[in-house]
Amino acid sequence: MKTKAVRLYGKKDLRLEEFELPPIKENEILAKVVSDSICMSSYKASSQGAEHKRIPDDVADNPIIIGHEFAGELLEVGSKWSHKFKAGDKFSIQPALYYEDGPVGILSAPGYSYKYIGGDATYVIIPNEVMEQDCLLKYEGKGYYPASLSEPLSCVIGAMHAIYHTTPGSYNHKMEIVDGGKMAILAGVGPMGLAAINYVLHREDRKPALLVVTDMDQARLDRAAAIYTVDFAKSRGIELHYINTGNIDNSVKELRDMTEGTGYDDVFVFAPVRPVVEQGDAILGFDGCLNFFAGPNDPDFSAMLNFYNVHYAYTHIVGTSGGNNNDMVEALDVMSKGLDPAGLVTHIGGLNAVADTTNNLPSIPGGKKLIYTHIDMPLTPIADFGKLGEFNDVYRELAEICNRNKGLWNLEAEAYLLSNMDKF
């Protein structure tokens, strides 16, 4: 079977190509990819090429398919896995394969390390190790975009689970955010910050009493506040505040004052910016934990931390990036109970838009860029559908559908797009 895919050959060298997939082996699965959301990690992979830890050294001769936040449908299942999967199953994939003795290595992952599997393709071959690691997950919900976004959602779920606290006088670590505590999400209205807010507001087992979300972009703060409202948070027992720290002379004092001077139990930093990291450290309370979520491109990135507080106030720091299988399962479960990740998505495009979008991702404003791999469509802001609809019937209908859903992407829009947009 032929596939069309965006393949990485080296630094910023992404090529949209058509090539033949080999017949699947008895321990492999042939799949159709429907959607993939583009991650900043893919930009980093493209920018670093073979220097990236997950990219094979011989990528120039054996290019890999890029994209790792994808969903689709299984087409043909090898005999080894026919007891567990069948043709027609919808799927999502946990891309981080932390196995020690595989053919690519401990950091291998679809979207970084493989010739025949990645999210930005029409058809892929899922290798045996994905199933061996239980990283192929059935998706039984509606549509496809929620399954694509389950991977980024799993990352923030993992971040929440990785936070830890201690009991003074003992060495026991208590994993998890403080139930009924005080939480701050700094630089928190980008795509991953929005995912974190969404998860916190929908979580059933534990939640903060106070949630403060900061940023310096008022338009993005306003959008976040319109999607994840203060009133909804209140109905969930959470006091939610959106704060533009760019308008405050002493943001550390202002943020600490919101806790009545005690500081925050849980702080998440969603931008690799030194002042934001230092601000997060400065607002920690006793036994507070800072999760540095945003991975920097600069291997020499550093910031000042208060080690007096590390010693005497028991402050902690952790860093997380991806989620694990359990986090993916939880992401799919929480979506089945009402969490809609559509608020993360601001742009829609086809496979033809992937290379330019990936290589220029930091300079493209907005949230998640969602790709449908079987359609031909330039990367298009959802907010522009109405204007484009003056000359195009498909865009006009998409605008009307999204306007009925608070301007957000949704299952009806996805179904209409897949049925009516030009095929790639």
Same domain, 42 and 102: yes
Domain boundary (318, 333, 366) is at: 318
Cβ-based burial of 17 (10 A; exposed 0-12, middle 13-18, buried ≥19): middle
> Is the pLDDT reported for residue 50 higher than 80?
yes
Provide mean pLDDT across the span 193-220.
Answer: 95
Same domain, 162 and 307: yes
CATH of the domain at 249: 3.40.50.720
Largest CA distance in the chain: 69
In a domain, 281, yes or no: yes
CA pair distance 279, 202, nearest whole angstrom: 27
Q: What is the pLDDT of residues 230-282, one digit of tens each?
A: 999 999 999 999 999 999 999 999 999 999 999 999 999 999 999 999 999 99
Same domain, 81 and 173: no
Q: What is the pLDDT of residues 321-334, one digit of tens each?
A: 778 889 988 998 88
Range of the domain at 371: 350-420
Please give the tally of structural domains in the chain.
3
Query: What's the pLDDT at 103?
Result: 47
Same domain, 357 and 308: no
Q: How confident is the model at residue 6 (pLDDT cuts 50, 70, 90)?
A: very high
In a domain, 84, yes or no: yes
In a domain, 332, yes or no: no
* Residue closest to 95 by CA, chosen among 115, 113, 122: 113
Provide mean pLDDT across the span 296-313.
Answer: 92
Same domain, 131 and 241: no
Query: What's the pLDDT at 37?
Result: 96
Provide mean pLDDT across the span 136-164.
Answer: 93
> Is the pLDDT reported for residue 408 higher than 80?
yes
Provide mean pLDDT across the span 308-318.
Answer: 95
Query: What's the pLDDT at 123?
Result: 98
In a domain, 289, yes or no: yes
β-pairing verdict for 29-38 and 123-126: antiparallel
HSE-CB at 116 with a 13 A cutoff on CA atoms is 18
> Is the pLDDT reported for residue 152 higher than 90?
no
CA pair distance 341, 297, nearest whole angstrom: 27
Enter the tokens of residue 72.
Answer: 């689709």
Q: What is the pLDDT of residues 363-386, one digit of tens each?
A: 999 889 999 999 999 999 999 999
Domain boundary (138, 162, 188) is at: 138
Query: What's the pLDDT at 99?
Result: 54
Q: Is 298 left (phi over 0), alpha (psi -120 to 50) or beta?
A: beta
In a domain, 298, yes or no: yes
> Is the pLDDT reported for residue 221 higher than 60?
yes
CATH of the domain at 61: 3.90.180.10
